[in-house]
């Protein structure tokens, strides 16, 4: 079985990707320092997969840690999820973000080169498009100046990967620009575990439905959109996870010194108010929400052009928005003291 290192594999997207990798016949090797995840995720993953999951607790910035993982499991590829991702925090502590998000990529690439590990899939973000001038955004849409140090780390990491490939390093790289991942594994055994008060829409919605938050505030209903609220491309995390498997298979067919980038979204934009209404409908409940002021720095509307990933990787989303919002709610309901 081909072994794939998943840095940050206990996190939200990494854990779901581990499931998809096993389904496709890979052996995921998880490396996580649990700085933003709970070690119990590993047990939950074992329950879903019906087998032990190989994992290491450690920092992927640490070469010695990478050495010991590699000595035990000579992996053939890497999916690099590990990063800090809180946009607001990144403006307060930019160095923490540059060190972990950018630093870890340089350490990993250096290590891969040393060991002759060729394939890497990198977690980028649609944040690199900023406030786009044209919709939907294609991979050719110009990137904009980042709105936050976090966003800048994604841009810089993409640039590092391009430069590394240009230097004739014997690697093959895919950057996946994720749109807005939502939902959870249909078993409700794994899902998103936000730290403290959620910044993102759907966790805030589910916590409000669960009574953890009194109400959700819609940040602005006076934008130039269908109902005045902002628009995003919400993608089920299992579909996003599957895109990594497709990206790995694609990389395996490429020659050395290869770089490519794909949007991973559904191709549909949904407004914040549509999310609230759809959530209420599929889960048959009422949400307490109010309209509040705009959130500074918000992108007004963005959704993906998915032709490239559809045609080149043969990837199409399998889950609907309704599935996503049902699975998010099932996950929230399943949260017990153990994982919360």
Ligand X SMILES: O=c1ccn([C@@H]2O[C@H](COP(=O)(O)OP(=O)(O)O[C@H]3O[C@H](CO)[C@@H](O)[C@H](O)[C@H]3O)[C@@H](O)[C@H]2O)c(=O)[nH]1
Ligand Y SMILES: NC(=O)c1ccc[n+]([C@@H]2O[C@H](COP(=O)([O-])OP(=O)(O)OC[C@H]3O[C@@H](n4cnc5c(N)ncnc54)[C@H](O)[C@@H]3O)[C@@H](O)[C@H]2O)c1
Tell me the catalytic residues. 150
Give residues 108-167 in contact with ligand X (rule: CB under 6 A).
125-127
- Binding-site size for ligand X (CB under 6 A) equals 21
Q: How far is the C-alpha of 288 from the C-alpha of 236, rounded, in Å?
A: 24
270 part of the interface to ligand Y, by CB under 6 A: no
203 part of the interface to ligand Y, by CB under 6 A: no
Omega within 30 of 0 (cis) for the link into 136: yes
* List 90, 104, 270, 271, residue binding ligand Y (CB under 6 A): 104
244 part of the interface to ligand Y, by CB under 6 A: no
Strands 77-80 and 180-182: unpaired
Q: How far is the C-alpha of 10 from the C-alpha of 227, rounded, in Å?
A: 37
278 part of the interface to ligand X, by CB under 6 A: no
The site string for ligand X over 61-100 (x = CB under 6 A, - otherwise) reads ------------------------x-x-------------
119 part of the interface to ligand Y, by CB under 6 A: no
53 part of the interface to ligand Y, by CB under 6 A: no
* List 3, 185, 232, 246, residue binding ligand X (CB under 6 A): 232
Residue 319 CB, nearest distance to ligand Y (Å)?
16
55 part of the interface to ligand Y, by CB under 6 A: no
Residue with Cβ nearer ligand X (217 or 310): 217
Instruction: Specify whether the CB–CB gap between 101 and 7 falls below 8 A.
Output: no
Instruction: From the list ligand Y, ligand X, none, pick the one residue 123 interacts with, judged by a Cβ distance below 5 to 8 Å according to partner type.
Output: ligand Y
13 part of the interface to ligand Y, by CB under 6 A: yes
148 part of the interface to ligand Y, by CB under 6 A: no
Residue with Cβ nearer ligand X (35 or 114): 35
Residue 144 — φ and ψ, nearest 5°?
Answer: -110, 165
């Amino acid at each position: 079985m081909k072994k794939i290192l998943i840095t940050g594999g206990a996190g939200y997207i990494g854990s779901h990707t581990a499931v998809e990798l096993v389904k496709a016949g890979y052996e995921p090797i998880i490396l996580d320092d649990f700085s933003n995840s709970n070690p119990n995720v590993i047990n939950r993953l074992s329950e879903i997969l019906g087998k032990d999951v190989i994992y290491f607790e450690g920092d992927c910035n640490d070469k010695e840690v990478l050495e010991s993982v590699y000595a035990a499991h000579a992996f053939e590829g890497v999916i690099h999820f590990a990063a800090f991702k809180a946009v607001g925090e990144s403006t307060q502590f930019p160095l923490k973000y540059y060190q972990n998000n950018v630093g870890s990529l340089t350490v990993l690439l250096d290590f891969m080169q040393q060991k002759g590990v060729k394939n890497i899939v990198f977690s980028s973000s649609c944040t690199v498009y900023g406030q786009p001038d044209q919709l939907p955004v294609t991979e050719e849409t110009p990137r904009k100046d980042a709105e936050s140090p976090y966003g800048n780390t994604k841009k810089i990491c993409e640039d590092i990967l391009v430069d590394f490939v240009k230097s004739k390093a014997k690697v093959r790289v895919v950057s996946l620009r994720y749109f807005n991942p939502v939902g959870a594994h249909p078993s409700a055994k794994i899902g998103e575990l936000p730290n403290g008060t959620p910044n993102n829409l759907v966790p805030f919605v589910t916590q409000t439905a669960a009574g953890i938050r009194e109400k959700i505030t819609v940040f602005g209903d006076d934008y130039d959109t269908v109902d005045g609220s902002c628009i995003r491309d919400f993608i089920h995390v299992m579909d996003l996870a599957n895109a990594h498997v497709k990206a790995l298979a694609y990389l395996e067919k490429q020659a050395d010194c290869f770089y490519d980038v794909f949007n991973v979204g559904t191709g549909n934009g949904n407004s914040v108010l549509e999310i609230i209404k759809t959530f209420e409908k599929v889960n048959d409940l009422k949400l307490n929400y109010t309209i509040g002021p705009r959130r500074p720095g918000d992108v007004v509307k963005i959704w993906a052009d998915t032709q490239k990933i559809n045609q080149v990787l043969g990837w199409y989303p399998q889950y609907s928005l309704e599935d996503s919002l049902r699975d998010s709610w099932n996950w929230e309901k399943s949260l017990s003291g153990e994982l919360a």
